[in-house]
């Protein structure tokens, strides 16, 4: 009986090893300081724009879907990165600064427990 159980366990382990292969390690091809021209294709939970660069997800604050911007990477973690706008085809520098100010004011208001209505759109 005991041998039968041990044999069954060994067979289960072999089947499991065949089904599940170890995940390949991912080396992010994006490096801090690199610059890319991107188009924002979607928005994240916090409202940051999201773009894809070399199969990696890049978050770009103060953007909206459809914005075409040149970004500089300022942080990389796993398959994601953070970028900042250095040029924009769709936003003027004044608009970017206005969005940054509104975003900061919203954060301060939320920290003070105030209800925030509207946004930087």
Which residues, given as ranges, of the chain have pLDDT below 50? 120-121
Confidence (pLDDT) at 118: 57
pTM (2 decimals)? 0.58
Confidence (pLDDT) at 120: 46
Give 108's DSSP letter.
H
In order of start, what are the domains of the chain with their CATH numbers? 2-111 (2.40.50.140)
């Amino acid at each position: 009986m005991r041998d039968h159980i041990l044999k069954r366990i060994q067979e289960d382990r072999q089947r499991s090893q065949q089904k599940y292969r170890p995940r390949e390690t991912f080396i992010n091809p994006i490096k801090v300081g690199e610059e890319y021209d991107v188009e924002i294709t979607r928005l994240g939970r916090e409202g940051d724009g999201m773009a894809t660069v070399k199969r990696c997800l890049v978050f770009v604050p103060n953007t909206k879907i459809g914005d075409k911007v040149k970004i500089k990477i300022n942080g990389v973690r796993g398959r994601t990165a953070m970028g900042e706008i250095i040029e924009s085809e769709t936003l003027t520098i004044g608009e970017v600064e206005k969005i940054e100010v509104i975003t900061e004011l919203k954060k301060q208001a939320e920290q003070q427990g105030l209800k925030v209505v509207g946004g930087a759109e």
